[in-house]
Amino acid sequence: MTKHSPTSHEASASNPVLEAIVARRSIHYLKPELPEGVTFDDIYHIVQECVKHTPTSFNSQVNRAFIVRGALHYKIWDQVVNKIKEPEYRARPLRIRDGAYGSIFFYVDENVTERNKVEHPEWAPVCEAYADQAMGAASIAAWTVMHNMGIGCNMQHYGKYMHDPNVLPEDIPSHWTMKCQLVFGVPDKDPNEKKFIENIVKVYE
């Protein structure tokens, strides 16, 4: 094992995909609109492509999603607001309900995970982690593309406040598990500076 001596990283310094990954931020203050030139079908196209093309263990393609705007977006987030009793925790879902244009709900299909466990018993203990890894990749990929197109987004984890069959679309299968919610609109305020903690990447050769 020898110590690595730095050379240069010109080729990656200006890569547009890496630049988009670095630029992506949480935009918490949104207007309930889409940027000029962006349609609701752009959102659908982005989510569909990210769900379809994100790699998954055993090519099992475990990711699912649904997208809403309008009355159903309001109804779903209004439910979250009403289920939260502490006033200080209602501010965020209220801001989402009234400020975001729409929401994307990312799911994993548990039937796929169960099939992976049966077909690959040696890896059964990590099949759920694999599904989470793929879900994280698909949802953050969509977020990165949307940010790159000027759409403001923030990612939420309010799953446990979501499960009312009178509010969620009734044709969402019960074997889908909701993992996160990506809400979007037109940025209304710049994000604060991000605080970095420690992000260790070591090199050996």
Binding residues for its own copies restricted to 54-73, rule: CB under 8 A: 54-55, 57, 59-61, 63-73
Q: Which amino acid is at 144?
A: T
Q: Pattern 165-184, binding to its own copies, x per CB under 8 A? A: ----x-xx------xx----
Nearer CB in complex with its own copies: 128/188: 128
CA distances from 167 to 71, 77, 184 (A): 11, 10, 20
Q: What is the rounded distance in angstroms from the CA atom of residue 110 to the CA atom of residue 60?
A: 11
User: Is residue 38 a contact point for its own copies (CB under 8 A)?
Assistant: yes
User: Is residue 33 a contact point for its own copies (CB under 8 A)?
Assistant: no
What H or E segment, with its residue span, contains residue 72? helix 70-83
Q: Pattern 4-23, binding to its own copies, x per CB under 8 A? A: x-xxxxxxxx-xxxx-xxx-
Using the Cα atoms of residue 127, residue 131, residue 133 and residue 134 in order, give the sign of their dihedral.
positive
Using the Cα atoms of residue 176, residue 130, residue 180 and residue 153 in order, give the sign of their dihedral.
negative
Q: Pattern 96-135, binding to its own copies, x per CB under 8 A? A: ------x--------------------x--x-xxx-xxxx
Instruction: State the minimum distance, in angstroms, from the CB of residue 189 to its own copies.
Output: 18
Nearer CB in complex with its own copies: 31/175: 175
CB 142 within 8 A of CB 180: no
User: Is residue 50 a contact point for its own copies (CB under 8 A)?
Assistant: yes
